[in-house]
Amino acid sequence: MPIIRRQFLKICAGTGIAVGASGILLPEIVSALEKAAAGNPPVIWIQGGGCTGCSVSLLNTVHPNIAEVLLKIISLKYHPTVMASSGEKAAEFLYQTAEKNAGKFYLAVEGAVVTGEDGKCCTPARVRGEEITFIKLMADMGSKGAAVLALGQCGSYGGIPAAKPNPAECMGVTEFFKLYKINTPVINIPGCPPHPDWIVGTIAHVLLFGVPELDSDGRPKIFYSTLVHDNCPYRSYYDEQKFAKFFGDEGCRVELGCKGPESYSDCWKRGWNNHVNWCVHNSLCLGCTELGHPTEMSPDDGPLRRKGSNCLWDGSRGSN
């Protein structure tokens, strides 16, 4: 079954045969992806200042076997957490793979680029006695790749490591590339962590059809184009101006600090962990897919970017 782009987008958007969690990975589609991806350039996955949450999220892709996805579709050649090898040999293999596929491979970057103390704050490898800082790794790999997938809030925009006052001087890939004048295209897949579908879907799109259409914050429109607030199960309360003052109250949660009105994602229809739940059902949206999370969206228990009576936040980011 040859798979065409429109079909693929339909599946990703969750309007196809099966919505969400493993929709992208139906057996027919997996085999089609496998064929289409055969011989395609590999993905190299590196980690900077992060918590490995993006990797764990990806591993939560239950069906089919994640190993199949990683090896056959994504042709993941290097992943510091999943692979067995480590140390100097692994670092040399990383450089060899990048060299062999220069200009063709896709670089997945999990975690922020840590630039503090000339990069000494983050040294993922040591080769022949020389410390390889994450700055060096990013400069070497970033300039050689066909495109970079900046994973999670940290890889995309700096995330929690870059939160004020940012002592380790962390930043997202785009900002780092600007600083180092690297022109490789960057695709942001923000979220804390990103949904496994967003990761697999974007990588599959890149391998099969090239870079997907991106929004102004560099995110694929297939996954990040709907406003959480417009699709919130509590939206009608907002329209009636009925606000919850306490967790467990009936009402819209915007006064408890929900960032749904300024967050774009498709969590509301995709659901997490095989449709078990999503943040808004449980508590509220923290805006983890948005530029500025968490600093400009904190504290978690304050209202939306405006000063409220019970809020410690000083309202430093504009007002409405």
Partner 1 sequence: MALFGGKAPIAYGMVVGGATEVPNVDKMVSLKWRLQEIKDFIDNTYLPTVYLVAGTYRDLFSVGVGCKNLTSFGVFPLDDDEKNFLLKPGSYTQRKDLALDQAQVKEYVKYSYYDDKTTRLHPSKGATQPDANKKTGYSWVKAPRYRDLPHEGGPQARMWVTNPVLSKHANKFLGIDPKKDIRFRDLGDKAFSILGRTAARAEECKLVADAMDKWILELKPGAPSNIKVEVPKEAAGVGLTEAPRGALGHWISIKDQKIDNYQVVAATIWNPPPGTMREISVPLNRHLWERP
Question: Which residues are catalytic, by number?
Answer: 51, 54, 154, 192, 229, 232, 252, 258, 267, 279, 285, 288
Report residue 2: phi and psi, to 5°: -70, 140
Q: With CB under 8 A as the contact rule, which of the stretches 19-27, 29-37, 173-181, 280-288 interacts with partner 1?
A: 280-288
Write out the H or E segment, with its range, that includes residue 147. Answer: strand 147-151
Half-sphere exposure of 284 (CA within 13 A, CB side): 30
Considering beta carbons, is residue 188 or 265 the nearer one to partner 1?
Answer: 265
Which of 120, 136, 221, 269 binds partner 1 (CB under 8 A)? It is 120
Taking CB under 8 A as the criterion, which residues in 77-106 touch partner 1? none
Q: Could you say which of 14, 53, 145, 158 contacts partner 1 (CB under 8 A)?
A: 53
Output the CA–CA distances (angstroms, integers) from residue 239 to 144, 245, 246, 251, 254, in the order listed. Answer: 50, 16, 19, 10, 12
Interface pattern 3-42 for partner 1 (x via CB under 8 A): ----------------------------------------
- Closest distance of CB 51 from partner 1, Å: 8
Beta bridge partners of 187: 149
**Smallest distance from the beta carbon of 181 to partner 1, in angstroms?**
25
Shortest distance, position 161 Cβ to partner 1, whole Å: 12
List of E strands, the chain: 43-47, 76-78, 106-110, 113-114, 125-127, 130-132, 147-151, 170-171, 186-189
Alpha carbon distance 156, 45 (integer Å): 14
3-class secondary-structure state, position 178: helix
Q: Residue 75 and residue 77: Cα distance in Å, rounded?
A: 6
Give the length of the chain: 320
Contact between 279 and partner 1 per CB under 8 A: yes
Applying CB under 8 A, among 22, 47, 57, 75 the residue interacting with partner 1 is: 57
Q: Which stretch binds partner 1 (CB under 8 A): 15-23, 26-34, 202-210, 241-249?
A: 241-249
Q: How many CB atoms lie within 10 A of CB 12?
A: 24
# residues near partner 1 by CB under 8 A: 29
- 316 is a contact residue toward partner 1 (CB under 8 A): no
**CB of residue 29 to partner 1, shortest distance in Å:** 24
| Binding residues for partner 1 (CB under 8 A) | 51, 53, 56-57, 60, 117, 120-121, 167, 192-193, 246-248, 272-273, 276-284, 286, 300-301, 312
